Amino acid sequence: MKKILDFTVKENRRLNADNFLLVLHSIELPEIQAGQFVNVRVDHSPSTFLRRPISVHDVDKKQGLLYLLVKIAGKGTEKLSTLKPGEQLNIILPLGNCFSQPEQGRCLLVGGGVGIAPLLHLSKELSDKGLHPVVLIGTRTVKDIILKEEYEKYATVYYTTEDGSYGEKGYPTQHTILTEQFDHIFCCGPEPMMKAVARYAYSKHIDCEVSLENTMACGIGACLCCVNDTKEGHKCVCTDGPVFNINDLKWQI
């Protein structure tokens, strides 16, 4: 059930030049599943008219904490990066669907850029079910690696960097871990990377889900700006997604 809640900022931690982590509190925090997102109202930003969709990074239901990993991409997210502890943030949540939850099998989670955000919550959920996942993260350089220790709490983590400064040099689909057997792949990040992962999964007959990052304004399927073409027709990413099985998309893979 969707709610509109005012959260209190507990922490705003700058991770590097581009990314920050918001830790928010509400005593009414609803159940949120890995892959879902929230729509955040940006106050005191005259040029920001629409709410900003942000993936759920992590949840601590017992303490009423919501974690949002945010990349500064414009005036709205730049304003959010200046929030201070004690300030309020109005949020609509939870929105969208979620990643599926396999009961067995080996799971590979692939993320690039800020697309790594929903993979922490998913790693935790899979770990709680006894399915210790493998997480593969691609970045440009070692300076872009963030929250490494958090992912390592729930998964075995590998990295690729484009310049070879950490992990294996190249892109995630070039990592040697892909020579091993996996039963499920979950992916989020830049579309070219997701399509490359989808091609790999399709060639190996591996079940694969991707989280799309189409531009979303309303979050409830009213504005139609996030429509994506699927094999079952046009669907709103904010309501029918953001998670889709690659077999349902019209990607040339």
Give pLDDT, residue 218: 83
Kindly report the backbone phi and psi dihedral angles of residue 182, in degrees, each rounded to the nearest multiple of 5, phi listed first.
-130, 150
d(Cα 167, Cα 253) in Å, to the nearest integer? 27
Q: Which residues lie across from 249 on neighbouring strands?
A: 230
DSSP 181-202: --SEEEEES-HHHHHHHHHHHH
Residue at token pair 């705003």: 12
Would the annotation count 54 as a binding residue? Answer: yes
The answer to whether the beta carbons of residues 178 and 199 sit under 8 Å apart is: no
Q: Which pLDDT score, from 0 to 100, does residue 55 have? A: 96
**Would you say the C-alpha torsion 89, 90, 94, 96 has a positive or negative sign?**
negative
**pLDDT values of the chain reduced to their tens digit, one per residue, 253 residues:** 899 999 999 999 999 999 999 999 999 999 999 999 999 999 988 888 889 999 999 999 999 999 999 999 999 999 999 999 999 999 999 999 999 999 999 999 999 999 999 999 999 999 999 999 999 999 999 999 999 999 999 999 999 999 999 999 999 999 999 999 999 999 999 999 999 999 999 999 999 999 998 878 788 888 888 998 899 999 999 999 999 999 999 998 7
Q: What is the pLDDT of residue 19?
A: 97
* 238 is annotated as contributing to ligand binding: yes
Q: Establish whether 127 is an annotated binding residue.
A: no
Going from the N-terminus, what domains does the chain have, and what CATH number goes with each? 1-93 (2.40.30.10), 105-210 (3.40.50.80)
DSSP result, 36-96: -EEEE--TT-TT--S-EEEE--EEETTTTEEEEEEE--SHHHHHHTT--TT-EEEEEEEES
Our measurement of the distance from residue 193's CA atom to the centroid of its chain's CA atoms, rounded to an integer in Å, reads 14
Angle formed at CA 61 by CA 135 and CA 22, multiple of 5 degrees: 65
Residue type (1 letter), 139: T
Nearest to 238 by CA among 111, 46, 51: 51
Query: Does 218 show up as a binding residue in the annotation?
Result: yes
> Is 138 annotated as contributing to ligand binding?
no
| Amino acid 215: pLDDT | 79
Instruction: Name the token pair of 125.
Output: 């959920």
- Residue-level pLDDT at 221: 85
pLDDT for the residue numbered 246: 97
Q: Tell me, what's the pLDDT at 193?
A: 96
d(CA 224, CA 236): 7
Give me the torsion for CA of 237, 243, 244, 245, rounded to 10°.
180
Count Cβ atoms below 10 Å from residue 164 Cβ, excluding itself: 12
**pLDDT computed for residue 93 by the predictor:** 97
The answer to whether 239 is annotated as binding is no
